[in-house]
Amino acid sequence: ETGVTQSPTHLIKTRGQQVTLRCSSQSGHNTVSWYQQALGQGPQFIFQYYREEENGRGNFPPRFSGLQFPNYSSELNVNALELDDSALYLCASSLDPGEQAPLHFGNGTRLTVT
Amino acid sequence: SQQGEEDPQALSIQEGENATMNCSYKTSINNLQWYRQNSGRGLVHLILIRSNEREKHSGRLRVTLDTSKKSSSLLITASRAADTASYFCATDPRNQAGTALIFGKGTTLSVSS
């Protein structure tokens, strides 16, 4: 069983740039959720994808967008980066969004915006 | 927005002691889960308790849930240095389709040998 993998592990960008983060779900999981975790805080829900469609969204602006592919891998795109976007971005996969099964997390991408 | 709030924010104990962390939440839930995170890495699921359950055990972990008080507690018995991590409660809000788990700010546990 392959776990959740995220790439890259670390990234440094300049304010105003765009970034794409990638996630491969655990095998057999069709749902992926993205979270932002600022230093010293709990993870904040960005959005969830189920079978390639957005299935829910947290309180994040439209410059945060995502995609889910037929193999259930996923991307998180952030446009017009701001300093406050510096955080650990976590991807989590699960079996199904209807029944809140446990989330399986990747180790995250540490994004630094300068 | 944060649904759950853990208490205390930080906890330091000696190996062999028990560690208790509390979580309070605001809205009705389907279930509550506890996760652990080691130094900025991914979160690992520990235990899930459903809204119709009051207590659950898994190894050295004991979780209680009081839906009337909207609170839960996580007890780790006979703590080990390897238990040093941040612990988060996460709730699955009822009647909010398409919302993934909502996490609290976490309790940082430090176990010294």
pLDDT digit string, tens, across residues A21-58: 999 998 888 899 999 999 999 999 999 999 899 988 99
Measured CA to CA, the distance from residue A111 to residue A77 in angstroms comes to: 12
List Cβ neighbours of B43 (8 Å cut-off, separation of 6 or more): A43, A90, A92, A103, A105, B35, B36, B37, B88
Return the residue of B nearest to A4 by Cα: B42
pLDDT of B1 over the 70 cut: no
Say if residue B8 is preceded by a cis peptide, omega within 30 of 0: yes
- pLDDT for res A69: 94
Q: Of all residues in chain B, what percent carry a pLDDT higher than 90?
A: 74
Q: Residue holding tokens 């700010």? A: B105
> How many interchain CB pairs under 8 A, A with B?
68
Give the residue-averaged pLDDT of B48-59: 95
In degrees and rounded to multiples of 5, residue B102 shows phi and psi of -110, 125
- pLDDT for res B102: 87
Give the residue-averaged pLDDT of B95-104: 73
Do the chains contact at A105 and B43, CB–CB below 8 Å?
yes
On chain A, the residues whose CB falls within 8 A of the CB of B51 are none
Give the residue-averaged pLDDT of B19-28: 93
Q: How many residues does chain B have?
A: 113
Task: Please say whether the beta carbons of B70 and A29 come within 8 A.
Answer: no
- Cα A63 versus chain centre, distance: 14
pLDDT of A100 over the 80 cut: no
Mean pLDDT of chain B: 91
SS3 annotation, chain A:
CCCCEEECCEEEECCCCCEEEEEECCCCCCEEEEEEECCCCCCEEEEEEECCEEEEECCCCCCEEEEECCCCCEEEEECCCCHHHCEEEEEEEECCCCCCCCCEECCCEEEEEC
Facing residue for A42 by CB, picked from B33, B88, B99: B88
Task: Please say whether the beta carbons of B89 and B107 come within 8 A.
Answer: no
The tokens for B10 are 């930080």
- Cα B72 versus chain centre, distance: 7
Least confident of A5-14, A78-87, B30-39: B30-39
pLDDT of B5 over the 80 cut: yes
Return the residue of A nearest to B46 by Cα: A102
